[in-house]
Amino acid sequence: MSVLELTAIAASGVAAGGINAVVGSGTLITFPTLLAFGYPPVLANVSNNVGLVPGVLSAAWGYRRELRGQRRRVLRFGAGSLIGGLIGALLLLKLPPEAFQAVVPVLILTACVLVVLQPRLNRWLVSRRPDGADADGGVALWLGVLGTGVYGGYFGAAQGVLMMGLFGSVLDDDLQRLNAVKNVLSSIVNGVAAVVFVAVTQIDWAAAAAIAVGATVGGTLGARFGRRLPPTALRAVIITVGVIASAALILT
């Protein structure tokens, strides 16, 4: 691999790390970059996943202030993300990508609709939530987080969009606090999938290292910028990235 190729891959990692911190769709930058340089799809996917782990960890650290008071929520949903990420990684190694990727645009567009409707849905849910109801969405939301983890472990593009769509439609909380939880859960999904990939399949370590360096820088900068966005602006970013992600997947 030439120095120019490594530089381009690292630059894509910076952009992906920043986008992942704010909303989550960075794979749609790094994955096509690896494909453009001739990497086979599965090798590109697993190398990309491993490389993005430091970036999502740096983004989670950047949002640490917004995580205060959410330990119970993180532990609860973290278990679902851990299980889902493991299942998704194993599916990637066992199943052809065509079947699952076919439903990805539908999932992302559904998440965008949920984000658009979030304020109205929150008001509706709060007005009808019975006394003593689970403020963290109950079993249904936990299963949604599990399903998002499966998707994230399998492919990962825009898993943050899906997660924020779920959170925003069910949880009555500040969008930045939910984004902080999303970053932690994404790091769990990517982390457990990376462990599986490193243990049982081939990784292109040069590409993974270049993405890791770039994503760490991008994740740190993205967290610093993204945490200052007002809820309306953050919601607009989520919707924009989600629509672009869906279009990119449909056209590829």
Q: pLDDT by residue (tens digit) across 137-157? A: 889 999 999 999 999 999 877
Per-residue pLDDT for 7 more than 70?
yes
Give the residue, 222 or 245, on which the prediction is more confident: 222
To 10 degrees, what angle do helices 175-200 and 231-251 make? 40
Chain Cα centroid distance, residue 186: 5
**Of 74, 51, 47, 45, nearest to 152 (Cα)?**
45
Phi, then psi, of 51 in degrees rounded to 5: -65, -30
**Of 194, 142, 193, 133, nearest to 163 (Cα)?**
142
Question: What band does 224 get if pLDDT is binned at 50, 70 and 90?
Answer: confident
Q: pLDDT by residue (tens digit) across 23-54? A: 777 888 898 899 889 898 889 999 999 999 99
pLDDT for res 166: 87
Q: Quick one: average pLDDT of 6-11?
A: 95
127 touches 63 (CB < 8 A)? no
In this structure, of 137-141, 196-200, 233-237, the range with the lowest mean pLDDT score is 233-237
**Of 86, 21, 56, nearest to 225 (Cα)?**
21
Q: How many whole angstroms separate alpha carbon 235 and alpha carbon 98? A: 30
Q: pLDDT by residue (tens digit) across 13-23? A: 999 999 888 87
